[in-house]
Chain A
């Protein structure tokens, strides 16, 4: 993590389900060691072809899957955290920028467009995530409003070019394919 501490709340949210899953998996493995043959879900033991001398099956109670739900803020923070790590990893492994690329670490693709390789700051990550959510929502609903335009325009001004283009491009694809209705006139952002 570049330059920031991971909030304890997020660590707890990740760690607790992992521990629970680990304990459940360990218990299942321990119980499974008592069986001579594996059982597949939905297949009765008698049809599974037990080996000679296999011990009797035990009654095993398997708890249903537990679902941990995150609040919107936590989910956004988690996404930003993961994206930051991925971006930092990509940034470390990226080659030197080619001529004409910006100082943000972006590289030019064969068509002259910038590729998405520059890591984002914490503030930019939040901005990027906010725009992404608006774009995803707009594309999913098939509607884009002037309010969306104002919000996204204000946000993308602060993002590096390649990130800004990356995040708004789905809007253009949907618009040009007739899958997005713009309730206004002029630019979409």
Chain B
């Protein structure tokens, strides 16, 4: 019978998929990027692996040996809405330094384009 090897193969593949799925068990929060007037938020990994190809969230810190560091944070949602802010506030730069690939980032900014509040959540639920 030719169909028998096919059934065996299919069962093997299904078993492997189940095993892989079990290995990825755990609570995952798929927080896509959201922007609004005055702030933005999202999960770094959710943005990276989003299907739309637009989403982005993150911060860039710049500095030199001769001056204070400063930082810019930007976000783009699924509809290609962009927003961002800058800061040289040491407290905010310290908070943003915790940002990594599993982080959830929440940022508020003022009307002058300066970041005013920031929240970095670094937990298992953000790990993809």
Contact = CB atoms under 8 A, between A and B. Distances in A.
A79 interface: no
- Kindly state the interface size class of chain A when it binds its partner: 20 to 34
B88 A186 contact: no
Contacts of A173: 111-113
B85 A172 contact: yes
Contacts of B92: 112
- Provide the main secondary structure of the chain A interface: loop
A187 B54 contact: no
A183 B82 CA distance: 10
B80 interface: yes
- Provide the main secondary structure of the chain B interface: strand
Interface stretch (B1-9, B20-28, B69-77, B98-106): B69-77
Nearest to A97: B68
Nearest to A103: B66
A104 interface: yes
B76 A106 contact: no
Interface stretch (B11-19, B55-63, B120-128): B55-63
A101 interface: yes
A67 interface: no
Contact of A112 (B56, B82, B91): B91
Nearest to B70: A161
- Kindly state the interface size class of chain B when it binds its partner: 35 or more
A118 B63 CA distance: 15
A129 to B, nearest CB: 19
B89 A112 contact: yes
Interface string A95-131: 0000011111010000111100010000000000000
A138 interface: no
Contact of B89 (A106, A111, A175): A111
Contacts of B91: 112
Nearest to A105: B67
Q: Which 8 A-B pairs have the closest CB atoms?
A: A172-B113, A102-B68, A102-B67, A112-B89, A161-B70, A187-B74, A104-B67, A186-B56
Interface of A: 100-104, 106, 111-114, 118, 156-157, 160-162, 164-165, 168-169, 171-173, 175-176, 182, 185-189
23 contacts: A101-B68, A104-B66, A112-B87, A112-B90, A113-B87, A113-B88, A114-B68, A114-B88, A157-B62, A161-B62, A162-B68, A172-B113, A175-B83, A175-B84, A176-B109, A182-B82, A186-B58, A186-B76, A187-B56, A187-B58, A187-B84, A188-B72, A188-B84
